[in-house]
Amino acid sequence: MGKLKIRSTTVIAVIHNGEVAIGADGQATMGNTVAKSNVKKIRKLQEGKIVTGFAGSTADAFTLLEKFDEKLNKYGGNMKRAAIELAKDWRMDRYLRRLEAMLIVADKDEVLVISGTGDVLEPDNQVAAIGSGSMYAQSAALALKKHASHLSAEEIVRESLTIAADICIYTNSNLVIEKVS
């Protein structure tokens, strides 16, 4: 797989004060044109016990989400095991390795980033972000976790995405945020 340039969204997940929230903006671009402004990039799996977000090609992401759900079912809902198995397949399978997307997956205990290079990363500070506005959102979330500890995980995700949308031209303010049940 070549160097993946994901530049058309922001997805962030935060674990804070015992809560887990994940959110994304709604913008989809084709080149430098906004193609759609209200794409839902967050999906609940396993009856809401696992929440996912994606960045990259929508069709590719849906394919990966289907494969991830299959792995979850195969491994009894064990998110980490399913993520590792998906990453292995993604890297090794001739068809899957061409898919250009990244995933964030979260359950009540942890957040993981899954990439097509075979990586399954558990982020530092319980904040994970992907997409073009990811560094803006991640920086905001880390600051909010540190200096506004009274906020909920959902409030941190919302404010972080709002800040990213104000800076990143590939991120908009049509936000979808879900909490892990």
Catalytic sites, residue numbers? 9
Q: Residues 87, 115: contact at Cβ < 8 Å?
A: yes
Longest dimension (CA), the chain: 47
Gap between the Cα atoms of 105 and 118, Å rounded? 15
**Secondary structure, 3-state, 102-131:** EEEEECCCCEEEECCCCCEECCHHHEEEEE
Picking from 113, 161, 121, the residue whose alpha carbon sits closest to that of residue 138 is: 161
CB 151 within 8 A of CB 144: yes
Q: Give me the phi and psi of 51, to 5 degrees please.
A: -120, 135
Q: Which residues pair with 112 in a beta bridge?
A: 105
